[in-house]
Structure 1
Amino acid sequence: MTPFPWRRRPKITHCDAAPDGSVKATPVAERVEVRAKPGGAAAGRDVKGNAFGDNSSVTYIEERHIHNHPLPAEAVSWPVQVGSVPALASAFQSRAELRLRVDAARSHGETVVLTQVLSGGGGVGKTQLAAAYAAEAMHGGADLVVWVPAGEEHTVVTGYAGAASRVRAPGATGEDSVGDARAFLDWLATTHRRWLVVLDDIADLQAVQAWWPASHTGTGWVLATTRLHDARLTGGGRRRVDVDVYTPDEAVAYLRSRLDGDGLVHLLDEHAGALAEALGHLPLALGHAAAYMINLDETCTRYLRLFNDRIHTLDQLLPRTADTEGYGRAISTTLLLALDAADRAHPHGLATPMLRLAALLDPAGHPEDLWTTPAALTHLTTHRHPVNVQEAAPITPEQARTMLRTLHRYALLSVDAGAGSRAVRIHALTARAAQEATSDSALPDLAAAAADALAQVWPEPDRTWPALAIELRSNTDALRHHAGDLLWRPEGHAILFRAGDSLLDAGLSNAAVGYWQRMEADARRLLGADHPDTLTACGSLAISLRDMGRLEEAAALEMRVLADSNRLRGPDHPSTVTARANLAVTYHAAGRLGEAIELQEAVLADCERLLGLDHLDTLLARANLAASYKEADRLGEAIELQEAVLADRERLLGLDHPHTLLARANLAVCYRSAGRLEEAIAIHARVLADREALLGPDHPDTLTAQGNLAASYQAAGRLEEAIAIEVRVLADREALLGPDHPDTLLARANLAVTYQAADCSSMAVDLKERVLADSDRLLGSGHPDTIRARGNLAYSYVKAGRTEEAVELLEQEAAHRGRLQGPDHPSALLARSNLAGTYQLAGRTADAIELHEAVLADRERLLGPDHPDTHSTRVNLAASYQKAGRLEEAIDLLERVIADNQPLQSPGYRPGPPASSPGPAPTE
């Protein structure tokens, strides 16, 4: 068997107060997700490359503190531009009359919302006018200009979420694109900075209905473009401005300016007005014509003759009845003339296949590197237009780039290297004309080539290139729209799965759930319920649900995938082993540790049998099991496994390999939990030094090591050193990620725990109250992080003598843990024990006795009569008996404790161990 294509997506380690106020760190996750399509990205499609098959994810649970580091808030350099504003066309016409109407509409706008909607047919110059306003805003003192392709709701949400990150909008976490987008709208509404948001090419009013920005301070402006003429464009502060073609004078002025700019004004002869009229005074058609005339030194008279000859041949290609806007025939004719010329240019015959492929992608732009992928070059080689084509050699990357520039010269594409991942654009009307000139029989090959090229240009992992990932997802969506079910023949194309994985990798769980729900439905409809692609989509949907904390739904889906894979492929098939590991991860996340361990032990046995003892994936399965052992307080077994993993990784990968350093850090965490603090500190210090040397002081993994060292300092009582690190970590996270990011909440909670340990009670309470309020607001009252925050705050309330408030919080914690984890889970038992002890402090002795008795019975049943936690419960119950005057019963319990050689002191209040929660992370 061949190796797993492991993909690492770490989760966050959470710290909570233990009985003595020290820090208890629980590993919540190095997640290694195998969500690969068979064969990965495009070519080959060989499932043998995936030892655990093609279903969902295998999750690898190892500890790390995660720090993501975008630009610090104080380092934001205004002005800021978000999105790629199209460059202005050569000889751009300012269109003074039209601008007067836009400015008039703007001056009549309301203070709350200043929104103008440029409405007109395709190719009339709406986007160019909006681009001119955007450029003027950037040069005229605006602090922020945001350009958002608004064809679909998700592109608006993605654009706003990216803007939220750039401006450090409060409430933006980087985890939920919809939440971040709303945080950005809130920021726009209240900021005093000057801003312009452009929503370009709105295709569906319903899709943007919830996303119109507002400016309560009067410093913002919204400009939208659309082909729609819907009455709903107005109202709510919006005013529509109808945009039409050039006036006759503007059209001739454009031709004169364009030709004169290249020193070819002599081409502008007496038929310039007639040519402009034949082209319907349409800016896009005039641009095609001017580019043709310049490149081939043709006069207006000559071009008009060519145009008239060609348009007579279009009745079959584009019947007049199909040209609903009245522009399609002109555009199609100028397009075909330009394509003929471009196909004759060197390298011959590439213009047509290149433009047809580009027409299936996002008009807002795609990376230029897409054209140098093997898939694109192969397509160009095999589909060269048969016009004077004599070369038979494969097309080279240099030839592809040359043809891109040729198409740019003919105004069929726009190539702007400075636009990054949107370097190559195509006007939507040009794309439509190219699609209409493409036969249905050619579409399957075009769609496959475009999908293969997108897959091959997609970086793995893509988290390091977030802007590129956004554009690739947008291009995949455009391709899905044009290709329809073709990308599911004979099975789902890898690009469909890669785009969904990218949403998960970006932490966009909300969007990922919707995406994978559609994928699962399409796979089931087109391929059947038992097809591997259907199981893959179902497993990825489960991951999305798990990331959102919807653990019951995730577990139900994963159980179904496991049952189906076992039925269809057998228990030893890689997909079945993967499904078993995925289910174990969800059990772990839900606190169902017994079930998680049982499955992980089976996965480890499978790996050892199928892959061998030294296989890296076997070590990975062993590390997963060690993490669950640790969380279940089986520290001896956890340490033994982690020591073995570390030794094997050192032997197989070397001392400085990132996975070796990670194993070393995880072993240190186990040592810390076992009270071997000096060893833990020494190892964490070594990991920190190694990561600083190998990765630099600002690398996320280096910062992770700092956080781990701080936790061990806290556990060892070196509180000043721990606080110094944690204060710095919190400040960094607030600046880098915003106050509501999960990592920021974690840093705040960790610092609060250390403040409590240092008897800085008021500071601890303030921080914990904020953490609970933020967790409740952002995650919901039943989320594991919120439950843990509730217990932590209750602990501080108890220490501060605020017993009644603590009781209320603990009753909620016990109820939530019982529901989420089950009444027999260690965390649920601990929550009930804490509640019983707090009842006693509040003078509710009868309630305390009843609950202590129930906890004691459960611990005797689950842990045995001699377990330390069972003895602690006896001490607590004896104290309550004594308080109630039931001295004989108290004496009986204490005599048993003494007979068992156990200490008599009560362990006091202990917040439960944290439950796992998903979190963002860089890829290791």
Structure 2
Amino acid sequence: MRKKVKATRDESRDVVLSGPGGVGKSQLAASLARELRDQERSSEAGLDVLVWVRATSTDQVISAYAEAADQLQLPGAVPEDEDGAARLFLRWLTATERRWLVVLDDINDPCWVRDWWPDSGTGRGWVLATSRREDAQLSGQSRALIRIGLYSDSEARAYLKRRITDAGHPHLHHADQASEIATELGHLPLALGHAVAYLINKRCTMADYLTLLRDTGSQLGDLLPTSADTEGYGWPVTTSLLLSLDAVEEADTSQLARPLLHLASLMAPLGHPATVWTTPEALHHLRTARPPRRRRLRKHQPPVTATEVRTALEHLRTYALITQDTATAPLRMHALTARAVRETIPPDALLATARTVADALTSLWPRHDHEDRELAALLRANVVHLDQLTRPALWQPTTHTCIYRASESLTKAGLYQQAIEYNKTVFHLTSSIHGPDHPATLTARNNLANAYNDAGRIQKALELGEQVLADSERILGPEHPDTLATRKDVANTRETAAAVQQSQ
């Protein structure tokens, strides 16, 4: 597969790696990117600029490009205007003599990246993308769509042999048993990655691992219902996951591995900051979420330390349950692994788990988004993902602060259209959950009016703002703080509208 990608690149064509979850698209893209990055810069095939973009939304693409413009110190890039900085970066790519690679990872919708696909026609750079989609748009404009599927039996056996041998344990490999393991795990690269990590770290023979696999199979019906297994991969992933989790819990004396996995399984597959799990909010939750020691009551559990959390995370990385490219890179959990983990969260614990994640994300938000665009974009993406997974957990009994923080972040980043669409969603959800006259609904409508104002759609902002003001005076009273804040917003919008009218 690597040879096919390189051959296509030699033809000066962009490459899209397409395939279902768990087949290793992002891993292959990361390997190719690292290989190019690490080559000598004097080499003709070397690389000067590498930009990795989590392309699950337009917002993330724009933020990544704006961050690149800032890092390159491109003239004209303004911190408060991410959209403008992103377009400046795209223009720079078409003109530069430097060698570049842009990786668009996990494209959910080709339409979202259509206007943000870099032009590699100059031959100095190229685009490598990954997606579960196989749309015609992804293979147009001289792009090559390369499909990645399950391992063949020979590829699976070769993978297991290479990993075990490279780790210095060739005696653990047995060709016939490797084939049986591949069959048991459906030849899915993700599940085989779990398996080989277990084999290496536990010094487990393949025969013993097969026995464990087959014994565990009888428990999966309760953990992953058939209805949840939409891609047909849940069984092998869950099987390998459970074995790895057993090994992690045996090695991790802090007993934090499982509660940490529960928290991480609610995060976006594109990644999340590792520091989120050492925030006071996360440490407080973990203190009561881990099993009591020596029959102590949970409320008398000793505090969880940041060192314990980092040690537990290292165990999870060792067994391939989470990944992290560098010490400062985001932590990632594959979507299939996360889905299998979520099936083990007790239903009565989901609300507390979700709101703990929301608390921790909010606490990490930079004071000024332009000071750390990548972090702000990552936090926004995780808030949206968390809400979609756990709704209505972030809306009851009250709307969580992170919902409003994401809206504010979009506006501060200059992503005005995205802010409008986001606030439309927040308004409709708030209205349906809390009712049209609830204070939270009034706040959501006012935020939407402000988003229209920030985007320059003054008349729309004024019409909506005056409606919100009238409802606020009726429901909350004319002197309520929220009413006063809305009145001030409307006054500002009226001034802007008058100024616009005078200039015409």
Alignment TM-score, normalising by the size of structure 1: 0.50
CA contact (8 A) 2:83 2:414 kept: no
* 2:240 partner amino acid: T
Q: Matched residues in 1 for 2:34 and 2:295: separation? A: 42
Q: Matched residues in 1 for 2:18 and 2:96: separation? A: 28
Change in 2 beyond 3 A, CA 1:261/1:344: same
Partner of 1:431: 338
CA contact (8 A) 2:81 2:414 kept: yes
CA contact (8 A) 1:137 1:145 kept: no
Alignment pair present for 1:137 and 2:30: no
* 1:236 partner amino acid: Q
Alignment pair present for 1:401 and 2:310: yes
Q: Matched residues in 2 for 1:363 and 1:386: separation? A: 30
Partner of 2:379: 472
Alignment pair present for 1:419 and 2:104: no
Alignment pair present for 1:570 and 2:477: yes
CA contact (8 A) 1:199 1:223 kept: yes
| Superposition pairs of residues 507-586 of structure 1, within 5 angstroms | 507-586=414-493
Q: Percent identity?
A: 45
Alignment pair present for 1:224 and 2:133: no
CA contact (8 A) 2:224 2:340 kept: no
Pairwise CA distance, 1:297: 2.6
Pairwise CA distance, 1:104: 3.1
Alignment root-mean-square deviation, CA: 2.8
Q: Per-residue displacement from partner, 1:158-183 (whole Å, max 9, x unpaired)?
A: 22233333345576544444444333
Q: Matched residues in 1 for 2:230 and 2:477: separation? A: 57
Change in 2 beyond 3 A, CA 1:386/1:242: farther
Q: Matched residues in 2 for 1:298 and 1:389: separation? A: 32
Partner of 2:408: 501
Q: Secondary structure, in 3 states, of the residue corresponding to 2:351?
A: helix
Partner of 2:139: 234
Q: Matched residues in 1 for 2:77 and 2:212: separation? A: 56
Partner of 1:696: none
Partner of 1:106: 9
Partner of 1:806: none
Partner of 2:87: 182
Partner of 1:211: 116
Alignment pair present for 1:155 and 2:60: yes
Q: Secondary structure, in 3 states, of the residue corresponding to 1:487?
A: coil
Pairwise CA distance, 1:237: 1.4
Alignment pair present for 1:128 and 2:40: no
Pairwise CA distance, 1:337: 1.2
* 2:24 partner amino acid: G
Q: Per-residue displacement from partner, 1:228-272 (whole Å, max 9, x unpaired)?
A: 234443222122111123344443343344334444333324623
Q: Matched residues in 1 for 2:226 and 2:497: separation? A: 62
Q: Matched residues in 2 for 1:466 and 1:230: separation? A: 30
Q: Per-residue displacement from partner, 1:437-467 (whole Å, max 9, x unpaired)?
A: 4454443222112111111222334443333
| Superposition pairs of residues 687-726 of structure 1, within 5 angstroms | none
| Superposition pairs of residues 658-673 of structure 1, within 5 angstroms | none
Q: Per-residue displacement from partner, 1:114-153 (whole Å, max 9, x unpaired)?
A: 2211112222221111112211222342222111112223
* 1:447 partner amino acid: A
Alignment pair present for 1:453 and 2:356: no
Alignment pair present for 1:330 and 2:236: yes
Change in 2 beyond 3 A, CA 1:372/1:275: same
In structure 2, runs of 5+ residues without a counterpart are 40-45
Pairwise CA distance, 1:538: 2.3
Pairwise CA distance, 1:322: 5.5
CA contact (8 A) 2:172 2:205 kept: yes
Alignment pair present for 1:381 and 2:287: yes
* 2:33 partner amino acid: A
* 1:492 partner amino acid: T
Partner of 2:210: 304
Q: Matched residues in 1 for 2:115 and 2:498: separation? A: 37
Q: Per-residue displacement from partner, 1:324-348 (whole Å, max 9, x unpaired)?
A: 5443211111111111222333334
Alignment pair present for 1:294 and 2:200: yes
Q: Secondary structure, in 3 states, of the residue corresponding to 1:124?
A: coil
Q: Matched residues in 1 for 2:213 and 2:136: separation? A: 37
CA contact (8 A) 2:407 2:423 kept: yes
Change in 2 beyond 3 A, CA 1:128/1:513: same
CA contact (8 A) 1:106 1:115 kept: yes
Change in 2 beyond 3 A, CA 1:405/1:474: same
Alignment pair present for 1:267 and 2:172: yes
CA contact (8 A) 2:67 2:373 kept: no
Q: Matched residues in 2 for 1:513 and 1:587: separation? A: 19
Q: Per-residue displacement from partner, 1:767-795 (whole Å, max 9, x unpaired)?
A: xxxxxxxxxxxxxxxxx6xxxxxxxxxxx
CA contact (8 A) 1:194 1:220 kept: yes
| Superposition pairs of residues 604-753 of structure 1, within 5 angstroms | none
* 1:384 partner amino acid: R
Partner of 1:357: 263
Pairwise CA distance, 1:321: 7.2
* 1:289 partner amino acid: A
Q: Per-residue displacement from partner, 1:169-220 (whole Å, max 9, x unpaired)?
A: 5765444444443333333334333221111112223333333322231222
Pairwise CA distance, 1:308: 1.2
Alignment pair present for 1:278 and 2:179: no
Q: Per-residue displacement from partner, 1:247-304 (whole Å, max 9, x unpaired)?
A: 4444334334433444433332462332233223332222212222233332111111
Pairwise CA distance, 1:371: 0.7
CA contact (8 A) 2:59 2:415 kept: no
Pairwise CA distance, 1:503: 1.8
Partner of 2:43: none
Partner of 1:36: none
Q: Matched residues in 1 for 2:502 and 2:227: separation? A: 66
* 2:311 partner amino acid: T
Change in 2 beyond 3 A, CA 1:518/1:370: same
Q: Matched residues in 1 for 2:54 and 2:372: separation? A: 19
Pairwise CA distance, 1:491: 2.4
Change in 2 beyond 3 A, CA 1:510/1:325: closer
Q: Per-residue displacement from partner, 1:670-709 (whole Å, max 9, x unpaired)?
A: xxxxxxxxxxxxxxxxxxxxxxxxxxxxxxxxxxxxxxxx
The count of aligned residue pairs is: 494
Identify the range of structure 1 (552-561 vs 450-459) with the bigger mean alpha-carbon deviation: 552-561
Q: Per-residue displacement from partner, 1:575-607 (whole Å, max 9, x unpaired)?
A: 222223323333444457xxxxxxxxxxxxxxx
* 1:277 partner amino acid: T
Alignment pair present for 1:255 and 2:160: yes
Change in 2 beyond 3 A, CA 1:335/1:216: same
Partner of 1:813: none
* 2:186 partner amino acid: G
Q: Matched residues in 2 for 1:471 and 1:354: separation? A: 19
Q: Matched residues in 2 for 1:251 and 1:278: separation? A: 12
Q: Matched residues in 2 for 1:540 and 1:455: separation? A: 18
CA contact (8 A) 2:194 2:240 kept: yes
Alignment TM-score, normalising by the size of structure 2: 0.88
Q: Per-residue displacement from partner, 1:706-760 (whole Å, max 9, x unpaired)?
A: xxxxxxxxxxxxxxxxxxxxxxxxxxxxxxxxxxxxxxxxxxxxxxxxxxxxxxx
Partner of 2:42: none
Q: Matched residues in 1 for 2:121 and 2:324: separation? A: 38
Q: Secondary structure, in 3 states, of the residue corresponding to 1:413?
A: coil
Pairwise CA distance, 1:307: 0.7
* 1:202 partner amino acid: I
Pairwise CA distance, 1:521: 2.2
